Chains A and B, each alone.
Chain A
Amino acid sequence: MQWQSTDVEVNRSDGTKNSETFTPAPAKDQFQEELVIRPLHSGDIYASFQFRTLWDTDFLQEGQKKVSHYRLFPKSLGQVLSKFSVQELHISFTQGFWRTMQWGQPFIPSPPGAELWVWFHHTVSDVDGNWKELTNVLSGIFCASLNFIDMTNTVQPSASFKPLGLGNATDHRFLRYATLPREIVCTENLTPWKKLLPCGSKAGLAVLMKSEKLFHSSFHSQAVHIRPICQASFFSKSWELRQTLNVVFDHYTSGQGKKEWSLFKMFSRTLTEACPLASSSKVYVDITDNPEGELFELSPATPLLSQAVVLGDRRTYSVYDLTRAETFGQLRSFNLLLRWKGDSGDMLRPLLHAERYVAGFGLQTGEIHTVIYNNHPYRAFPVLLMDSVPWYLQLYIHTLTVTSKSRDNKPSYIHYQPAKDRHRPHLLEMLIQLPPHSMTEVTVQFERALLKWTEYTPDPNHGFYVGSSVISALVPSMVAMSTNFTQDQPLFSSFVPVKEESSYFVRVYTEPLLVNLPTPDFSMPYNVICLTCTVVAVGYGSFYNLLTRTFQVDEPSPPLAKRLANFIRRIRGVPLLA
């Protein structure tokens, strides 16, 4: 057992003891939870939960005893990490599509369905074998059909999914990415997700997660992100597990048309206590658009304010600290109330957003159009577009065109891996420079393949899904981003590491496509058998009868009187009657 006592003195690596800021060594693992509520201009409300467990341990060490004592970090995930030598793991389950034009940018983007991308450690020899087993194990942990991830929908992006944590791994042979756009998310995925939290769903912010309310929303996304990070104050590598849940409540269906939101209305629960195992438990409400209180009224009022630079903008938040008893007031229950007073007007257009659709008609060919908008008035910036198309949509890459402002725009980097039927999907990655204030269109023609009759799903007329395209970019920021990593930063602003001040990282997912493939009529074998058998029976039967049937004259039997008369005549020996 690797349990070490917590009262061990910190040994500074430079050998000197800093007597001014001597702090006792903290526990090896810590847990923080936060909820960010962002009112949207359309009257909807966006709530983002983040739960972070930091643990100062090493799952991938060799030669030392395996980690066996788990406290806050869930054991099921820890065992998965050490067994498959996982460097980074990101898995998300999303129901609904994020509408960037109406809601802005999310804190943590995710595509509809399930998405899984994993960086394996550079010591792994059989990455494909580990990937296959990992997807099966995760399908058991999250009650999802992730076992449908196999080589026909896995790709190895060369540039789009760089590690978000520590890692020298830049060899994309150790990266695997797959999406299942058809994957349904429901309570059975939320239940095991909640069980991974240290307090479960019994205390803290997780009590708000009632499935009847969470799934009755426009957008619901839950994710698990695991990565190694460097803790600035400890000079050591720690593992960070972030569980995030993003939900957007529609003000017509969940809000009953009134522009008034409260925790009780959103989640049918109020908060009564923070998770006792959490070192920090906070609720943030975005009040940037409401500096004087003219747009909406927030109660209970709080003096705590916090400013954070997130997604390229400086936002102001009201902070409620749940570890303090006065937040809960007399009734020991904390219910946030937001009441709209005025009309909010239009939202600022997001700098980058994208759309995708299929053009064409018929069941033989088609064309995929991806449209990327750069709404910055004067800055151009490059974006990396990644498309992973299943093999049954056979792309004609010679018809690939990229046009911006009706002129040809040649990408500076293209990585294309053609598909192999039933073996591997298409992977297309391009670095495109978007001119300022423009629309860029990427089109490519394809032909639909005819599948073998056993390869169709039980409901083939529904169509076949093509996963979302991923657009990753460093978008110019309006405000200087902070590159210092401090412990006090709220979780939502510290998810993506910031490398430079003038831009921030954004990932935009397009819509998934639903494409009809030429589908046979599955009742035809039965119909053909019936018809053929009937034709053969009628045709052959008639022919046989004609050949073998003989006709005989049949005399009708005489009436009773005549039969009696003939009988008497026979006895007498006289000739019979006719």
Chain B
Amino acid sequence: MRIFAFIHLLVSIPHGYSNYVETKAGQFFSSGHTNNWAVLVCTSRFWFNYRHVANTLSVYRSVKRLGIPDSHIVLMLADDMACNYRNPKPATVFSHKNMELNVYGDDVEVDYRGYEVTVENFLRVLTGRLPPSTPRSKRLLSDDRSNILIYLTGHGGNGFLKFQDSEEISNMELADAFEQMWQKRRYNELLFIIDTCQGASMYERFYSPNLMALASSQVGEDSLSHQPDLAIGVHLMDKYTFYLLEFLEEVHPASQANMNDLFKVCPQSQCVSTPGHRTDLFQRDPGSVLITDFFGSVRKVEITKDTINLTSPVDRKKYITGFLCCQTNL
């Protein structure tokens, strides 16, 4: 059915567009993922770490805008900044000074909040080892065809990331968690972004396949915050995520921007720290990986021009399940 529709598509379009069609068809078969997940974690507590919550919410906002639904996003915020009593504008979290962009918005669903954001819960979400009574919105129900985006931000050091000012996760634990995910076939490809001081140390120990990692600073360097806002009284965003948000605002669901553009975000002249990336464990060439493969949830829908007769319920059921699973990748 799929082959037939594909040939039909090729034949019925004039030759002038055939190149365009071929590249599109090539991309259709290139990345093997069928669904997208995102795990966005802010690990810092206290009002002066407002910028970490703003970082995470900016990525959340971009990811939602590009199509990943709330049911496929696990958002973990270690403290509440929006309705904090120190916030002069409640129910808002701003990313630009002069309060231009409210990244909190009106339609936000936080899955893990406050004291629930712990190293144990984070690792349990990744590996899927949650108690049976955990609701669906708190689970990462990915399968072997899922592309997962993992974004961490907070305070970190050489080889560790601090959770809530009381515990840490080490780079070895993270690498082992990803290896568990690989062995349980919980991801197809994984993009790991970290915005902390000495962030590159967190991806040094990865050893599972199909992982791509980006960090905001190298070992020995600090990631810096961007702008303070005098009305709110704290720094609003970190430099790396600020420029990342600027870059992502230009991306729309049909854009062809690829990972090489993402690696160029925030060079040292803007960020002061040197962002790093790691692609040796990734099988595809980063230039052929679209941003929307991880940040968006592009549904691959095939258009077919032939009519289908749905007659008896038995036929209908068989046809629809066959049709839906092969034609539209759900």
Contact = CB atoms under 8 A, between A and B. Distances in A.
Contacts of B89: 212, 216
Interface string A110-151: 000000000000000000000011001101110111011000
A457 B165 CA distance: 10
Contacts of A343: none
A139 B135 contact: yes
Contacts of A191: 106-109
Interface string B112-137: 11111000000000000001011111
A147 B46 contact: no
Interface of B: 45-46, 80, 82-83, 89-92, 102, 104-116, 131, 133-138, 164-166
A526 interface: no
A187 B82 contact: yes
A184 B80 contact: yes
Contact of B115 (A137, A143, A212, A457): A457
Interface residues of A, number: 31
Given A184-B83, A191-B108, A214 B115 contact: no
Nearest to A132: B133
B110 A212 contact: no
B300 to A, nearest CB: 28
B106 A187 contact: yes
A186 B57 CA distance: 14
B164 A458 contact: yes
B110 to A, nearest CB: 4
Contacts of B82: 186-187, 215
A451 B298 CA distance: 50
Given A145-B116, A215-B90, A140 B135 contact: yes
Given A140-B135, A140-B137, A211 B116 contact: no
B55 to A, nearest CB: 17
B108 A136 contact: no
A458 B131 CA distance: 23
A145 B115 contact: yes
Contact of B138 (A140, A185, A457): A140
Contacts of A215: 82-83, 90-91
Given A136-B134, A212-B91, A458 B106 contact: no
A521 interface: no
A216 B90 contact: yes
Can you list the 3 inter-chain pairs with the closest CB atoms, starting with the nearest?
A140-B135, A186-B83, A215-B91
8 contacts: A136-B134, A141-B135, A184-B83, A184-B114, A185-B83, A187-B108, A214-B91, A458-B164
B110 A140 contact: no
Contacts of A184: 80, 83, 113-114
A154 interface: no
A133 B133 contact: yes
* From B131, B133, B137, residue with most partner A Cβ within 10 Å: B133
A147 B110 CA distance: 14
Nearest to A210: B106
B263 to A, nearest CB: 33
A80 to B, nearest CB: 10
